[in-house]
Each structure stands twice: as C-alpha cells, then as structure tokens.
Amino acid sequence: MTRLEKGTKALSALIGSISNRLRSRFGNFRLRSSNYKRPVVAVLLLIMVLTPLGLVVARGGYWRIGAPWERSTAGTAPAPGSSRPAVDSAAAPDYEALRQELLEYLQGQDAVFGIYFKDLKSQKTVEINAEEPIEAASTVKVPVVLYLNTLVAEGKEDWRTRVTYNSATDYQDGAGILQFTARDGDSFSLRVLANLAITISDNIANRMLMRHLGRDNIIAFMKEIGGKTVYPGGQNVTTARDMAAYMEAVLDFAQKHPEEGKRLLDDMANPIYHVGLPGKLPPGLIVAHKEGDVSGVANDVGIVFASRPYILVVLSRGAYDVDQGFANIASISRIVYDYQESLS
C-alpha cells in the first residue's frame, strides 16, 4: 500500500466518521444525500483551502514579496554532533564535497536516484543521474498548477471560473477527497482545484485542471519553461533536471507576480504529505515542495528557504517500500541542508 493509498484510506475513515456523527445527531443521514452533501463538502473544502493560509499568518510570513528566497528566520542549525567544519562564506562554494557525500550515501541504496541541487546564491549545481527518466507521479501537478497561475496572471483565466465534474473523464482513485464527494454535474472553482491538487495531491482535481487547460497546452508550457522529457510517448515521466527547471520557474513567477506567486508557494509549503525533503529538517523551516509516489517510486521536488536557499529534487525508483523511499529522501535532504548551513 502506497502512502497515498494510506492517506486516502484515512481520509475515507474521516469522512465516514463525520457521516456517523451527523447521522447520530440528525437521524438517517447519508453523505450522498442531496440535503446534506453539498454543505458537508463545502465545509471540508473550505477547511482545506483556508488552513494553509492560516498557517502562513501564524508563522509571520516566509518571504518578502519580490524576493522569495530571502533568508528564513526558522531553525537553521546543523544536525547535532555534525563533524563537518564550517566553510568560509566569502570563498566560492565547493560543491564537489557535497557531491561526494551524496554519492557515498547512495552506494548503500538499492533504488535508482535522480538528484538535482541548485544553490540560489551562487547558481552552482550538483547533478547525479539528473537526466535519468523516472515516473513523475504527482510531482507533475506543480507545472500544471503553475501554468494555471500564469494564465490567471495574464488575465486569460479567472480563479472563479468553475469546472464541471465528469466521472467518465475525470475520475481517478488514489489521493484526494473528490473521489468520495464529487458527483457528475458538481462544479468546482479553478482556485479550489488548484489548491486541492497541490495541498492534498487530489488526482481528480488535477485531471479536471488538465482537461480544462488542455493537455497539449500544458505540455507546450512545460517545454517552454525548460522541460526536456515531457510526457514521452504519453507517459508521465520526467527527470530531476526538468523538475528543477519547474521549481525555478515557480520562483521566477513569484518575482513577476508576487500576489499569485506567494499563494502558490504557500500551498506548496503546507501540503498534507510533508515527510520527504522536510522530513529531517528543523521544524518551522519553510520548504515549498511537492511529493509524489506510486508503487516503487518516491519523489520530492522543492525549494528550501534556509539561510542559504536552494532547490532540491530527489526522484527515486526501485524502492521496495515507498515509506523507506521517503525516508531516504529525508536523509539526502538533511545532507544537503547541513552542507548549505556550513557555508553560511
């Protein structure tokens, strides 16, 4: 059972619990009942859309508009007991040592990894199998939602536009809540669909967005912002280098369109799946990212707003256990974070 399947099972149990509570209070209640369905779904969706925004207020803001990689005020201490010496920040960063440390860690792993790291101050990179084709899973939802944001910023789309659910084209199980609640004829705003696709990785929300925006248009956009391996042969396959290009495109978008960019980064910083890149980093450190997994595949792509901000993409396939796959990603992320902090 993948993490998404586990999450979906838990979400299903939550919905069942809500249904049982309402039934005990109001009598013969059914979640699908026309009398109760829409209010319950509306409340659930409202909670999902507003909760991340509330977290932003509570944390006091992550980045200054126009400079999304400004230094984070969250915890930035290297791991306790770290033996890595501090590096003179005035010197040009030497990332060969980081590359060797990552290669040493990967030697003990059975899975195939694609890694791309970029320091946003020096623009220096570390690439390990960065062009290895690996199934993108739900990480592909980032460029889809970025494309929608771009169209909104250009005045070609409106967040209030509603898309009508069609089970024949939109249904997909796995991650998300709409598989339990959406019925043919229900409509959802583009804003809700974008939020659900990123924060809870809702598969149906993503399929509805792709249908509305047009698959060919999305593919053209992904290539325009730097993608090279984009749905080859119709398969959802990517590379670490391509996913890094999409992360940099998110930052570029946030600079050009601060209001929309901050909203997108906020959604990415507050997902329910938050164990890969941020898994072993200090609590409160801002990591705007998107995880994705299918059987044997564990991926995480994102931007870490540490004292020395960076982009990190870790794709992996061949993991016997997906949970272990994300634990490996968390370990790789910590190695990178500690090295970056040694440069600060």
pTM of the model: 0.78
Domain-located, residue 166: no
Number of domains in the chain: 1
Domain-located, residue 32: yes
Tokens of 149: 């944001």
Domain-located, residue 171: no
What is d(CA 90, CA 121) in angstroms, rounded to the nearest whole number?
A: 12
Domain containing 57 equals 3-139+232-342
Q: At 310, which CATH number?
A: 3.40.710
Domain-located, residue 33: yes
Domain-located, residue 76: yes
| Of 240, 242, 237, 262, the residue nearest 251 (C-alpha) | 262
Domain-located, residue 38: yes
Cβ partners under 8 Å of residue 172, min gap 6: 179, 203, 204, 207
Domain-located, residue 179: no
Q: What is the DSSP string of 33-51?
A: -TTTHHHHHHHHHHHHHHH
Per-residue pLDDT of the chain (344 residues; tens, 9 = 90+): 555 555 555 555 555 444 444 334 334 333 333 333 344 444 444 444 444 443 332 223 334 433 444 434 344 434 444 444 444 444 568 899 999 999 999 998 889 999 999 999 999 999 999 999 999 999 999 999 999 999 999 999 999 999 999 999 999 988 889 999 999 999 999 999 999 999 999 999 999 999 999 999 999 999 999 999 999 999 999 999 999 999 999 999 999 999 999 999 999 999 998 889 999 999 999 999 999 999 899 999 999 999 999 999 999 999 778 889 999 999 999 999 999 999 87
Domain-located, residue 18: yes
Asked if 319 and 100 touch (Cβ cutoff 8 Å), the reply is no
